[in-house]
Every structure is written in structure tokens, then in C-alpha cells.
Amino acid sequence: MADIKFSQFTPQTGYTSLLAIVGYNGSSNVRITPDNFMTSWNERQSTLRFQNNVVGTTSFLEVGAASHTSTELNLATNGTASYQINGLNAVSFDLNNWNLADGFITTSGSDITIASRVLTIGDGVSNPQIDILTSPASPGTISGSGTQILKQQPGTDLIIGPNDDIVIEEFSIIAGGPLVSVGSALRPSTLVDTSGSGGSAGYVLASNGAGLGISWEQKNPACQVKISGTAGLANTNDLVDFLVPYNTVTVNDDATIFNPVVTGGLGNQGAIQVLKAGRYAFQARYSSFDLAQSALPTVNGNVFFRITAATDTVASGIGTKQCVLQDLIVATSGNGEAVVTGSGYMDLNANDYFKIIGFHNGATGGSGTQGYPVNSNANFNEPQLWLVKVQ
């Protein structure tokens, strides 16, 4: 037994200098080593609280010290361990997966899932950076809903799009090759017509042929019809309007814009239907047999030739005349040399039919007052019509 009061014992500042802690358990005087005391106390605590119930009190828990080279706070468990704030999991681990911010960020193996709809990086002042580190044999990929958006492999090209649509070459400037290559048609409405591709109609990006990059080339979708062969042709009468009977399609860049009508016979064939409203440029030529001056140098003023641009809501017939393209006295004595041409611009509505209307007098063929369409290019005057969408 101690021979002095407890208050007279020598004070100590650390438990390691003690041999034992003594006490009384109600029936016996007992003692325990400081290490066993601390260990047995820790093993019996399932809940440990550091709190003050005074409103407005600030709680503070500090682990470690600034002089320490390593500080650890180990949440040991055989199930799920978590660090919580107001009952929500700030950090938790279930032996397989990590959970941060109460489930908004989770990890499973090497994958990280962010449940929040918006991910913001940076503070508007600094220069934030996202760096995807991959091995030389494996590309890094950014995807949206499982579809590739961007892919890059160390030392190789940067690839954009789900089908490797745009390639930015890694060493293009040094090698002198194209900086950007487009694997399929680039289709912003202000850049490329939806049917456009390299070398065809629409607004396209194409090689400039020098191996030094790309050049901008504007190509507008167009349609050309002409008279080639005799399909659907017939005599045309003096002083009677007729639909020029173009019978062959030579160019149709975009079937969603142009619907040429080249069958059906005189009065039914020759129009081009436009399927999209817009501004169109046109250039027309018509030439006729059996329409010539017979007594040159004396000119018969009654031998004349005219073509007019017209629009309609149906393919057949004359339609509504819009403007005379050329009206002239025939000046040649050669059969098949009577030629009229003309060009201009016209705003057309969707589904309008654009037509060229012919008219003549002084023809000598057929019944004696008839002409007949030139149907070969022997004199380089084959009838033809270009229609080009410019806006």
C-alpha cells in the first residue's frame, strides 16, 4: 500500500514512464500496465465521440504534427469503412469500390464514374489541363454514351469522331503533309452541301494538289439536260409556243434538288423540277433545223426565232412565261444553224418546274411551216439547259 496520499505522488507527463496503473475494482486492489490499459480500452470502443453541446462551439480534431514525416488515419474494416459529414459519405470503401461525395464519384477497378451532369475544371483564372496518360501501344479515348469522340495514341495522330472522321497528323508540319484529313464528308450546313464530297457539288474541302494542305473550293449543285438523239422529238409549228423537248440528262449533282423530266414526247418533256426553294442561275440554248434565210444577202425579217424562260406547277405545257432570253431574226442560210441562247437568275419555289419555251416563224420543214430540233452536236449547237442552285 502507498504510505502517502495520492495527491502527494510524483507527477509524470507520459504513460511510458510508469510501470503500472493501480486501482480498486470494488473488492481487490489491482494494477495494469499502461500499454495494456490503452489497448484494452481501444478494443472496447465501438463509438468514440468528441463533442460539445454548446450552440456555436467549434469542434477541432487534429491527428499528427507538423514535425512528423508521415501521418496515417486508418479506418480498418472487413466490410465498408466511411468518413462522413452530416451523415453523408465523404469517402467510403467496401473492399472493392471507392465512393466519393456520397456516390457522385465512384470507382470500380480502374474505372471512375462521375454521376454529376456537369464537370467543371479550373477556376477561370488558372490554366486547367486534362492529361490522359496511356502506354505507347494503347490509345487514350474520350467517349460520349459509349461512342468515341476523341482518340489519341502517344506518338500518333489525334483522331476526332466516332468513325475516325477527322485526323490531325502528329508530324504533319515537319513532314509537309496535310495538317487535317477528313475521312468522310464534313457536313456543317454552311460548309458542305449534304450530297457534297471531294470534287463534286457543294461546298467542299479538297486537296490543292501541291501536298501542302487543303484549299477552299466552292461548287454549286447543278443539273444539265440536252437534246441528244431523237427520243420524244417532233416537228414544231410556226407561231406556236412549244416546250423545248430536252431528252437526255448529262449532269445531276443532287437528286434531292433537281428532278429533270426527259420522257413523254413533245409538250411533256424538257422541264427541270426544283425540289428546294432558292435562287437559281440558268443558261439555255436551242437550235432548229429548217429555219434559215434562203436569199442572202437579202434578209427576210419574218424568219425569226425566240426562247423564253417559264415556270409552272406541272411538267407538261407552256407554263407562265417569265422573261425573254433571246429574240432575233435568223441570220444564216445553213440548215441547223439557227441558234438562240440566253441566261439569267430566278428565284424558284420548292417543286416549281423550270422550262424553256421556243417560238419561231419562217420554217420550211415538215408540212412547209415546221421546224425540227437539232439532235446532234455536229455544228456544236446541240440544245442544252444548265440550272445551278446558287443560294
Least confident residue range of 55-69, 330-344, 355-369: 55-69
Of the pLDDT bands very low, low, confident and very high (cuts 50, 70, 90), residue 285 is very high
Q: What are residue 16's phi and psi, to 5 degrees?
A: -70, -15
Amino acid at 136: P
Q: Which amino acid would we find at residue 188?
A: P
Q: Kindly list the strands in the beta sheet with 180-182, ordered across the sheet, starting from the edge strand earlier in the chain.
A: 140-144, 147-152, 158-160, 166-168, 180-182
Q: Could you tell me what percent of the chain has a pLDDT over 70?
A: 80
Instruction: Calculate mean pLDDT across residues 20-26.
Output: 81
87-139 pLDDT per residue, tens: 888 888 888 888 878 877 888 767 777 776 677 777 777 778 777 777 766 77
What confidence category does residue 185 fall into, taking pLDDT thresholds of 50, 70 and 90?
Answer: very low
Q: What are the grid coordinates assigned to 95, written together?
A: 473492399
List pLDDT tens digits, range 293-340.
Answer: 999 999 999 999 999 999 999 999 999 999 999 999 999 888 888 999
Q: Are 116 and 135 in contact (CB under 8 A)?
A: no
pTM across the whole model: 0.51
- Residue-range domain boundaries for the chain: 6-43, 81-114, 140-219, 222-389
| 188 or 156: which leads in pLDDT | 156
C-alpha cell of residue 36:
495494456
Give the pLDDT band (50/70/90) at residue 223: very high
Whether 385 has a pLDDT exceeding 80, the answer reads yes
Kindly tell me if the per-residue pLDDT of 42 is higher than 60.
Answer: yes
| Grid coordinates given for 263 | 420522257
Which of 320, 295, 294 is closest to 308 using CA atoms?
A: 320
246: left (phi over 0), alpha (psi -120 to 50) or beta: beta
Provide the b/e sequence for 44-77 (b: ≥16 CB within 10 Å): eeeeeeeeeeeeeeeeeeeeeeeeeeeeeeeeee
CATH number of 222-389, picked from 3.30.390.10, 2.60.120.40, 2.60.40.1120, 3.90.650.10: 2.60.120.40
Average pLDDT value for residue range 160-182:
60
Exposure string for 129-146, b = 16+ CB within 10 A, e = fewer: eeeeeeeeeebeeeeeee
